[in-house]
Amino acid sequence: MAELKDKIRHTLTETRMVLPGTQALLGFQLIVLLMHGWDKLPRSSQYVHLLALGATAVSATWLLTPAAYHRIVMRGEDSEDFHALASRFLLAAMAVLALSITGDYYVVARQITGSLLLSAAASAFLLCFFYSLWFVLPLVTRRLKS
């Protein structure tokens, strides 16, 4: 069994793996508002993008929260409670990040295909794909190993 210090280090390393992609996505989502053609998107697609942008901001915030919490509340000390909190923030951030990615995927798919139904179905499939690999597979594997 890993020591607490190692478990916390692994959790914070995993957070640092997800954070750059989330930050890059947030930047692209903000830039798209300034691009030519934004105003030509259907209003519903603009709202989906707005929700996706919000989800990315929430995800980035949740990824950054454990570092601040560890420094301010824990004063840099490790505890099981902090490890559990950091793990929950990481998983919640990934769940919301999947929503953000699939939301913007919907906007792009709708713009390319012109089909609301096809875009919604493809986005739902993508969301299921993310959740299957990020949550269902690990939970099933953990259950089978125990």
How many whole angstroms separate alpha carbon 87 and alpha carbon 63? 10
d(CA 44, CA 127): 19
CA atoms within 13 A on the CB side of 10: 9
> pTM for the complete prediction?
0.90
Q: How much is the mean pLDDT over the chain?
A: 95
Weakest mean pLDDT among 30-34, 40-44, 102-106: 30-34
Residue 130: which domain range?
4-145
Number of domains, the chain: 1
Q: Token pair of 104, please? A: 């913007």
Q: Is 76 left (phi over 0), alpha (psi -120 to 50) or beta?
A: left
Q: Which pLDDT band holds residue 108 (cuts at 50, 70, 90)?
A: very high
Specify the DSSP class assigned to residue 1: -
Asked whether 57 and 25 are in contact (CB, 8 A), the reply is no
Tell me the average pLDDT across 59-64: 96
The per-residue pLDDT for 121 is 98
